[in-house]
Amino acid sequence: MRRHWRTALRRTPVSLWNDDLSDWAAALTYYAILALLPALLVTVSVIGLANPGATDALIADITAFAPAESGAALRRPLEAATHERTAVWLLVVTGSVSAVWSASSYLAVFRRAMHAMHRVKDTRPPLRQAHIIVVSAVGLLVLLMASAFALVLTGPLARWLGRRAGLAQAGETVWEGLKWPVLLCLVACLILVLFSTGPRSARSLRGALPGGVLAAFLWLVASAGFALYATHIASYSRLYGSLAGVVVFLIWIWFTNLALLTGAQFNVELARTDDQGSEEP
């Protein structure tokens, strides 16, 4: 088993290069931006309607995930959405439609990339794919919104439970320690939904789990490394001026998609290694 994993890890970077996965990551980045920003605007607007006092903390938590230079670029439209009260429902409706459309396009590209990795031709007609992709896109957006609601709602709930138990400070401490594992579980669900768009052989939980864990680990490492690089070494502000935050955000999303594709490619190589091992006498 260990030998198979080492072989798969060694083959994965070569396959990444041969299959042009950096180009697939660039295409996914385009649709990710088109889907992510409307989804975040809708989420912030809905939470603002339910609890206006919670939006500032939510925006701070969302922008904390992005590299430092892109945090301000992401914060501005989200704060503008909280101050827009006259046409908020129009923003929610149009943003939801735009997010579902773009997320569906994202999943369609991810599906084609998965089939290309597996060297399998997707023979299902587009009309038969459409409803599956749309349902999966809605599921992804619901998980994304659930992550935001988890950040907003579970904090006050934990503090209330702590006060009821006479342990006010303990409730907040427990919440601070548990919210990140909960969010990590939601991220894992997002990754598994993405991997389920591939060929039938790649849809099992057992087959998707190793690459999902690797993708999450690579995303965390790449995000931390790129944040340090963008903050202390790179000179994006001098090169791009006021667009530096946008450029940093785009590069970070590209790294995110590359980590996802790397995890999926690792699953492919692991399956090939297992098949070759089973054929040996």
pLDDT of amino acid 148:
67
pLDDT averaged over 10-residue windows placed end to end, the chain, 281 residues: 74 84 93 88 78 73 70 75 71 87 91 87 73 84 74 59 60 64 76 82 75 87 79 70 79 91 89 62 45
Domain segments of the chain as ranges: 2-279
What's the predicted TM-score (pTM) here? 0.81
Contact 74, 66 (CB under 8 A): yes
pLDDT of amino acid 29:
94
pLDDT of amino acid 258:
94
pLDDT of amino acid 142:
83
pLDDT of amino acid 257:
94
pLDDT of amino acid 281:
45
pLDDT of amino acid 279:
47
